[in-house]
């Protein structure tokens, strides 16, 4: 089921469902706006879900807890809204203890209103155990969730303090921290791989990269720590921002941001994705630093078209009060990556022109690598 606000983003919805390992058996487009489902709508959706033999209903959009509840009750199926499905993808890729904690916290925060909805309904005399335990169990669960969230938050604070200290030490030793950020699938990891010679997984699906990867390169006597990060998506809900936070924390600590844009997309997608990225970065307090906008995948774009897109991006950024240098690159064809690094080291120095050492070339040459899928 795709909510009206995301009707234009059907492809994204499908990519996300696929990234969470679901096979989509039917698509229902919702024509009505709003976060509530009528009883009739819940019935219709359930019927279609059962007719298609679906095991799960994905509601790609935002639903009020009471409507989510209604749909679960009507269909007796698991219902995932946009937040829950994104969290499922995160969980699939989560490796470290920290990332697991973040995901758990986001999920618990998202569940809380739903649990309260169950409790409210139970108090009003409704039968609420169609999917789980009854009212008392829900009340106990609510308490458990609240305590657990507080505990996870403390643990994460501690971990983040540690990371911050480490990064600060790196900075003090003169290393330039450059975070590669951008919308999901813009080509961040491909750029990271092409520059560092790493072979981190890349691919068209969303959230191929979930946790930051670091690699030091030496460019003309400047040590640059390149950091690959998790991709943005539009309207990231608050509870996910908190769990995104540690992967993007690198972005807030970085000296320079390499903001990757997929220049092969159409103008409206580019506009929307750049805006979504900037808004997320400002929520993370990571926008007040030199930004290099890497227009990636130029191998797929005709010159005229690229010019148009670049002026659009420039205009958009200046409209948002952001100063950024623009570099055209292709990670796959390894075009202009040196120019990119040059901009990085220039911006990190806060200077205008290139320093003398810049002419010596890249030390950590990108090694040839297998086709990035
Ligand atoms: N033609 C072309 N394709 C590219 C280029 N850079 C990346 N791609 C493709 O774009 C897709 C996404 O690339 P990734 O590097 O995984 O993108 P990402 O931004 O790291 O994605 P997430 O980690 O999922 O956010 C892959 O299929 C790449 O092969 C490029 O310069 N040219
Ligand atoms: Mg990636």
Domain ranges across the chain:
4-90, 94-153, 174-360
Say how far apart CA 198 and CA 369 lie, in whole Å: 8
Confidence at residue 292, expressed as pLDDT on a 0 to 100 scale: 96
**Ligand at shortest distance from the CA of 299:** 1
Angle between helices 188-196 and 337-349 (to 10 degrees): 90
Confidence at residue 247, expressed as pLDDT on a 0 to 100 scale: 62
- Ligand 1, atom nearest to 296 Cα: 31
Q: State pLDDT tens for residues 318-361.
A: 999 998 999 999 999 999 999 999 999 998 877 433 333 333 33
Burial of 169 (0-12, 13-18, 19+ CB in 10 A): exposed
Closest to 277 measured CA to CA, from 260, 263, 302: 260
Ligand 1 pocket: which residues have CB below 6 Å? 182, 184-190, 202-204, 206-209, 231, 296-297, 299-300, 330-332, 372-373
- Ligand 1, atom nearest to 372 Cα: 29
Q: Which residues contact 289 (CB under 8 A, 6 or more apart)?
A: 254, 255, 256, 257
Closest to 258 measured CA to CA, from 198, 315, 177, 330: 177
| Ligand 2: centre distance to CA 249 (Å) | 16
Angle between helices 303-319 and 267-283 (to 10 degrees): 30
Phi-psi region of 315 (alpha: psi -120 to 50; beta: other; left: phi over 0): alpha
Mean pLDDT per 10-residue segment, the chain (373 residues): 89 90 94 92 96 96 89 93 86 76 87 86 74 69 91 88 80 88 94 96 83 88 91 78 67 90 96 91 86 97 97 94 94 97 88 36 36 35
Helix extents (H) in 173-302: 188-196, 238-253, 267-283
| Ligand 1: centre distance to CA 306 (Å) | 18
| Ligand 2: centre distance to CA 299 (Å) | 19
CATH class of residue range 4-90: alpha beta
Confidence at residue 246, expressed as pLDDT on a 0 to 100 scale: 61
Helices (H) and strands (E) in the chain, counts: 11, 8
The position carrying tokens 């991709």 is 231
Question: What distance, in Å, lies between the first and last C-alpha atoms of the chain?
Answer: 30
Both structure tokens of 47: 């019927």
Closest to 253 measured CA to CA, from 227, 288, 286: 286
Confidence at residue 365, expressed as pLDDT on a 0 to 100 scale: 34
- E strands in 151-255: 176-182, 213-219, 222-228
CATH architecture of 174-360: 3-Layer(aba) Sandwich (3.40)
Closest C-alpha to ligand 1, atom 9: 187
**Ligand at shortest distance from the CA of 231:** 1
- Ligand 1, atom nearest to 193 Cα: 15
In contact, 274 and 195? CB cutoff 8 Å: no
Kindly list the distances between the CA atom of residue 219 and the CA atoms of 49, 144, 148, 154, 216, in Å, as whole numbers in the listed order. 55, 51, 45, 39, 10
Confidence at residue 366, expressed as pLDDT on a 0 to 100 scale: 35
| Ligand 1: centre distance to CA 372 (Å) | 8
Strands 291-296 and 324-328: parallel
Closest C-alpha to ligand 1, atom 8: 187
Residue 177: CB atoms within 10 A of its CB come to: 22
**Angle, CA 60 vertex, CA 203 and CA 179 arms, to 5°:** 40
| Binding site members for GTP | 182-189, 228-231, 296-299
| Ligand 1: centre distance to CA 300 (Å) | 12
Both structure tokens of 15: 């990519």
Say how far apart CA 147 and CA 142 lie, in whole Å: 9
Closest to 179 measured CA to CA, from 135, 209, 220, 221: 209
Say how far apart CA 184 and CA 90 lie, in whole Å: 13
DSSP 262: E
Same fold, 4-90 and 174-360: yes
**Ligand at shortest distance from the CA of 298:** 1
């Amino acid at each position: 089921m795709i909510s009206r606000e995301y009707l234009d983003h059907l492809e994204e919805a499908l990519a996300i469902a696929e990234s969470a390992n679901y096979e989509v058996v039917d698509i229902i487009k919702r024509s009505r706006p709003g976060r509530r489902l009528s009883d009739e709508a819940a019935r219709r959706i359930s019927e279609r879900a059962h007719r298609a033999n679906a095991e799960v209903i994905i509601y790609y959009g935002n639903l009020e807890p009471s409507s989510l509840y209604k749909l679960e009750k009507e269909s007796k199926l698991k219902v995932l809204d946009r937040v829950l499905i994104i969290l499922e993808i995160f969980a699939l890729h989560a490796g470290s203890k920290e990332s697991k904690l973040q995901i758990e916290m986001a999920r618990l925060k998202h569940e809380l209103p739903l649990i309260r909805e169950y409790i409210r309904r139970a108090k009003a005399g409704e039968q609420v155990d169609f999917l789980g335990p009854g009212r008392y169990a829900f009340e106990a669960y609510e308490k458990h969730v609240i305590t657990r969230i507080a505990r996870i938050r403390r643990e994460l604070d501690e971990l983040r303090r540690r990371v911050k200290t480490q990064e600060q030490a790196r900075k003090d030793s003169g290393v330039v921290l450059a975070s590669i950020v951008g919308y999901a699938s813009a080509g961040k990891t491909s750029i990271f791989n092409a520059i560092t010679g790493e072979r981190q997984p890349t691919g068209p699906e969303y959230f191929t990269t979930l946790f930051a990867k670091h690699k030091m390169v030496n460019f003309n006597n400047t040590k640059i720590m390149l950091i690959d990060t998790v991709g943005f998506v539009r309207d990231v809900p608050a509870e996910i921002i908190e769990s995104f936070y540690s992967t993007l924390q690198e972005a807030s600590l970085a000296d320079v941001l390499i903001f990757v844009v997929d220049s092969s997309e159409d103008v409206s997608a580019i506009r929307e994705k750049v805006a979504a990225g900037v808004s997320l970065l400002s929520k993370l307090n990571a926008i007040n630093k030199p930004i290099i906008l890497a227009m990636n995948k130029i191998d797929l774009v005709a010159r005229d078209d690229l010019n148009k897109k670049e002026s659009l991006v420039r205009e958009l950024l200046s409209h948002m009060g952001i100063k950024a240098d623009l570099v055209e690159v292709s990670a796959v064809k390894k075009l202009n990556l040196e120019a990119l690094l040059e901009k990085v080291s220039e911006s990190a120095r806060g200077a205008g022109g290139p320093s003398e050492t810049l002419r010596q070339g890249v030390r950590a040459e990108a090694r040839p690598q297998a086709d990035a899928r």
